[in-house]
C-alpha cells in the first residue's frame, strides 16, 4: 500500500536513533525541529550500505570523480529539471553548508555585502557574521497569496560592494518555490548589478502540487556562468549523516576562484559511504522519492487544515515545497518565544524563529516529515502548550 512504510513509524525505534534530532532534548520531548525525515531510507541506499559493510569495504575511498557521482548528478539534472551540465564542472563536497562558506570566502572580501532573503536557514547568516561579510537583507514579504520577493527593496539595497547573492530555492523556512517569472526577474537584476550567485537548491526534489523546481543556472548561459549551484541527496533521501554534497560551477573561472581559497585537505576527505549512497539515491531512488513526496504533500495538506481549524492564533502560508512549515505565532499573544513555550509546556521541540533573522522571534518552524500519527501528536502537544495556564 502506498505510504505504508511512512505510516508505520515506531516512536521507540526512532528514539533509539543516534542522530541529533532524537538526542538534543530529554526523552519526554517530541522532536519536530531539525530538517531530517523520520522515514526509513530507500531500499537501494540500504542495499549499497549493507554491501559495503558485508565486504568491510571501509578503506580509503577512491577519488570522488571515479565513483560516478558527478555523472549521476548531471543525468539527474537533465532528466528531472531539463538542465544540461558537464559532469566535469561538478565538485564533490562534504556538505552544502561547507560549499556556502567556501563560496563566501572565495567570492567576497571582509566588508563586502551578500544578499540573503530572510527569514532564512540560519547558516546563511552565520556564514556572513563569522567571516566579517555584510548581510544585505532582502526580507520576503507576506502577501495574500503567500511569501513574495520585494524586488524594489532588493534593487535599492545593492551597492558597489554587494558581490554575492545567496539564493535559497526552494526556500527554507518559508517553503516558497520560486516561479520562472520570479527567477527571471532575479536573473535580470543579477546581470545588471554584476553579482555572483550561490544557489542552494538542496530542497529541489521536495516540491508539491505538480510544481517543478527550476535550477537558477538553467535560466540562461550568462546566468549559469556566474552561478555556483549547491545540491545534495541528503534532504530528499534522508541521508544527512553521510555528509556528501555537490557544487556545480557555471564557469571555470568560478571554480578556479573557489579552489584557490581552500585547500582540499583543509576541506577534509569524503566518506565513501556517502559517495555510494548518494549515487544510488540519484540513480535508483526515484520510486521511493515519489512516494515520500506524495506522503509529505498529504501531511502538508493535513497540517494546513488542522492549523486553520484548531489553531486560530497561528498563521502559516502553505509551503509549496520542503517539509517545513513556517508558523507565525504572534496571534497567540505570547510575550516570550513561542518555541520556548511549546517546549516547556507542550514538550514538543520546534526550531526557534529568532535564529532565522531578526524580527522573526514570534515564528517557529515545524518539520512535518514524519508519520501522520506522530504529526498529530506534535499538534496535540502544541495545543496542550496553548491551553496551559500562565
Ligand atoms: C537550505 C538548506 N541548505 C543546506 C542545508 C544543510 O545541508 P548540509 O547538511 O549538506 O550542509 C539545509 C538543511 O536543512 C537546508 O535546509
pLDDT in tens, 220-235: 999 999 999 999 999 9
Looking at residues 51-67, what average pLDDT do you find? 95
312 alpha carbon to ligand 1 midpoint, in Å?
31
The CA 55 to ligand 1 mean position distance, Å, reads: 31
Torsion of CA 162, 164, 165, 166, to 10 degrees: -130
What pLDDT is attached to residue 376?
98
pLDDT reading at 238 higher than 80: yes
Comparing 136 with 4, the larger pLDDT belongs to 136
Whole-number mean pLDDT of the chain? Answer: 97
Kindly tell me if the per-residue pLDDT of 212 is higher than 90: yes
What is the pLDDT confidence band of residue 5, given thresholds at 50, 70 and 90? confident
Point out the ligand 1 atom lying closest to the alpha carbon of residue 97.
11
Domain 59-284 carries which CATH code? 3.40.640.10
Residue 324 C-alpha to ligand 1 middle, in angstroms? Answer: 12
pTM of whole model > 0.85? yes
Ligand 1 pocket residue status of 97, Cβ below 6 Å: yes
Share of the chain above pLDDT 90, in %: 95
Whose CA is closest to atom 14 on ligand 1? Answer: 35
Query: Chain-centre distance of CA 224, in angstroms?
Result: 21
In tens, the pLDDT along 245-280 reads: 999 999 999 999 999 988 888 899 999 999 999 999
- pLDDT interval class at 3 (50, 70, 90): confident
246 lines ligand 1 (CB under 6 A): no
Helix axes 372-387, 286-310, angle to 10 degrees: 30
196 C-alpha vs ligand 1 centroid, how far in Å? Answer: 20
- Report which ligand 1 atom has the smallest distance to the Cα of 322: 16
Distance from the CA of 121 to the center of ligand 1, in angstroms? Answer: 8
* pLDDT higher than threshold 80 for residue 2: no
Q: Please check the confidence at residue 283 and state whether its pLDDT lies above 90.
A: yes
Task: State phi, psi for 114 to the nearest 5 degrees.
Answer: -135, 130
Is 93's C-beta closer than 6 angstroms to any atom of ligand 1?
no
**Residues 80, 212: Cα–Cα separation, whole Å:** 9
Ligand 1 in reach of 245 Cβ (< 6 A): yes
- Tell me, using a 6 A CB cutoff, whether residue 137 lines ligand 1: no
Ligand 1 atom showing the smallest separation from residue 35 Cα:
14
Q: How far apart are the C-alpha atoms of 270 and 268, rounded to whole Å? A: 7
b/e sequence 70-90, b meaning 16+ C-beta within 10 Å: bbbbbebbeebbebebebebb
Going from the C-alpha of 190 to that of each of 99, 155, 163, the distances in angstroms are: 20, 10, 10
Q: How many A from CA of 270 to the centre of ligand 1?
A: 17
- As a whole number of angstroms, the distance between CA 363 and CA 119 comes to 10
Q: Identify the band that residue 1 occupies on the pLDDT scale cut at 50, 70 and 90.
A: low
Q: Is 240 in the pocket of ligand 1 (CB under 6 A)?
A: yes
pLDDT of residue 265: 87
With a 6 Å cutoff on the Cβ, whether 95 touches ligand 1 is: yes
Ligand 1 lined by 168 (C-beta under 6 Å) = yes
- In angstroms, what is the span from residue 97 Cα to ligand 1's centroid? 6
Band of residue 34 on the pLDDT scale cut at 50, 70, 90: very high
| Region 94-101 average pLDDT | 97
Does ligand 1 have an atom closer than 6 angstroms to the CB of 199?
Answer: no
Residues 6+ apart with CB under 8 A from 13: none
Fold designation for 4-43+286-387: 3.90.1150
Q: Please, which residues bridge with residue 245 across strands?
A: 93
Report the phi/psi class of residue 173: left, alpha or beta, with left for phi > 0 and alpha for psi in -120 to 50. alpha
Domain ranges of the chain: 4-43+286-387, 59-284
Amino acid at each position: 500500500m502506498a505510504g505504508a512504510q511512512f505510516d508505520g513509524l515506531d516512536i521507540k525505534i526512532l528514539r533509539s536513533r543516534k542522530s541529533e534530532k532524537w538526542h538534543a532534548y530529554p526523552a519526554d520531548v517530541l522532536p519536530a525541529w531539525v530538517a531530517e525525515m523520520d522515514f526509513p531510507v530507500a531500499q537501494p541506499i540500504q542495499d549499497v550500505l549493507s554491501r559495503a559493510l558485508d565486504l568491510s569495504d571501509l578503506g580509503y575511498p577512491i577519488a570522488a570523480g571515479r565513483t560516478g557521482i558527478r555523472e549521476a548528478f548531471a543525468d539527474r539534472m537533465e532528466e528531472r529539471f531539463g538542465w544540461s551540465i558537464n559532469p566535469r564542472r561538478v565538485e564533490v563536497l562534504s556538505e552544502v553548508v561547507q560549499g556556502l562558506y567556501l563560496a563566501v570566502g572565495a567570492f567576497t572580501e571582509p566588508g563586502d555585502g551578500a544578499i540573503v532573503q530572510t527569514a532564512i536557514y540560519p547558516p546563511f547568516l552565520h556564514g556572513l557574521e563569522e567571516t566579517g561579510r555584510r548581510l544585505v537583507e532582502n526580507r520576503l514579504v507576506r502577501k495574500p497569496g503567500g511569501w513574495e520577493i520585494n524586488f524594489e527593496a532588493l534593487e535599492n539595497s545593492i551597492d558597489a560592494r554587494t558581490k554575492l547573492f545567496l539564493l535559497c530555492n526552494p526556500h527554507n523556512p518559508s517553503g516558497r518555490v520560486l516561479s520562472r517569472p520570479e527567477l527571471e526577474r532575479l536573473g535580470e537584476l543579477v546581470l545588471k548589478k554584476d553579482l555572483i550567485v550561490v544557489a542552494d537548491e538542496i530542497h529541489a526534489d521536495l516540491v508539491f502540487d505538480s510544481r517543478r523546481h527550476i535550477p537558477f543556472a538553467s535560466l540562461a548561459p550568462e546566468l549559469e556562468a556566474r552561478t555556483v549551484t549547491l545540491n545534495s541527496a541528503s534532504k530528499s533521501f534522508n541521508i544527512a549523516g553521510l555528509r556528501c554534497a555537490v557544487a556545480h560551477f557555471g564557469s571555470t573561472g568560478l571554480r578556479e576562484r573557489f579552489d584557490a581559497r581552500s585547500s582540499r585537505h583543509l576541506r577534509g576527505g569524503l566518506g565513501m559511504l556517502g559517495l555510494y549512497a548518494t549515487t544510488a539515491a540519484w540513480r535508483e531512488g526515484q520510486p521511493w522519492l515519489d512516494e515520500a513526496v506524495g506522503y509529505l504533500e498529504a501531511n502538508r495538506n493535513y497540517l494546513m487544515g488542522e492549523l486553520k481549524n484548531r489553531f486560530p492564533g497561528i498563521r502559516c502560508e502553505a509551503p509549496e515545497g520542503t517539509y517545513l512549515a513556517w508558523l507565525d505565532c504572534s496571534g497567540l499573544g505570547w510575550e516570550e518565544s513561542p518555541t520556548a513555550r511549546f517546549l516547556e509546556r507542550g514538550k514538543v521541540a520546534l526550531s526557534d524563529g529568532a535564529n532565522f533573522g531578526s524580527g522573526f522571534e514570534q515564528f517557529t518552524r515545524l518539520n512535518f516529515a514524519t508519520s501522520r500519527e506522530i504529526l498529530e501528536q506534535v499538534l496535540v502537544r502544541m495545543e496542550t502548550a496553548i491551553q496551559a495556564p500562565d
